[in-house]
Amino acid sequence: MPPAGPMKKLLAPVAGFGVTLNSFFSPTVTEQYPFEKVPTKPRYHGRHQLNRYPDGLEKCIGCELCAWACPADAIYVEGGSNAELPDGAHMSPGERYGKVYQINYLRCIFCGLCIEACPTRALTMTNDYELAGPTREGMIYEKQDLLAPLVDGMLAAPHPMAPGTKDTNYYRGEVNGPTTEQVDWVAEHRPDDATLDGARSAVTTPGGANGSVSNPAAMDEKTVTR
């Protein structure tokens, strides 16, 4: 192959710069973050959230399956017993609840394996991606940092489960909101609770369409679907 002539050697750098010049006039795809924030995709894996049932009880049962599934060892869970709470109160349906819940976002790789492992859909991932912080300690999120906020109509836990229900009724989505009995219990034990007024307005009659249980009959022999 004959060597390149002087003119070809001269034009070789120009061809390279042609790619650069062409990019000057191409549409830009850069997002001017943080001044312009573009919404994330619906299934984006962001900050975790501990969810609640419509009556306010927590979905987390402290089983620690999420911690076992985490490949980065970023989750720490301690389960507590609802039997230790006074006067039949519950933090979650069933026997246990998440007493201590921590996620270390210095370790988390946002893979979502903890979400797949959760048997009650207590743990999901939000679209919140702004997790930077000034201290390492602040990157360890506690339970109160991860709990979903109480919406209007929910009753802050602890309080008893809906009358005539078991944990399986909650798992099947048969509990639609607080009952009159639950509201009365909180009014007796925590009369200054800020969620009482909203819960009272959400209740019509015990077991009614707006008052908690769509199907109060326990169906323990049927398969629980999630």
**Binding residue positions:** 60, 63, 66, 70, 108, 111, 114, 118
Whether omega for the bond prior to residue 34 falls within 30 degrees of 0, making it cis, is yes
What's the CA gap between 60 and 158, in Å, rounded? 13
Residue 76 backbone dihedrals phi, psi, to 5 degrees: -130, 125
Which residues, 6 or more positions from 131, have their beta carbon under 8 angstroms from its beta carbon?
46, 47, 105, 139
Joined together, the tokens standing for residue 26 give: 């191409």
| Measured distance between the N- and C-terminal CA atoms of the chain, rounded to whole angstroms | 70
Cα 91 from chain centre: 17
Residue type at position 74: A
* Binding-site annotation: residue ranges for [4Fe-4S] cluster: 60, 63, 66, 70, 108, 111, 114, 118
Query: What is the radius of gyration, based on Cα positions, of the chain?
Result: 27
The residue whose two tokens read 């042609």 is: 18
> Residue 170 in contact with residue 53, Cβ under 8 Å?
yes
Residue 198 has a CB neighbour count (10 Å cut-off) of 16
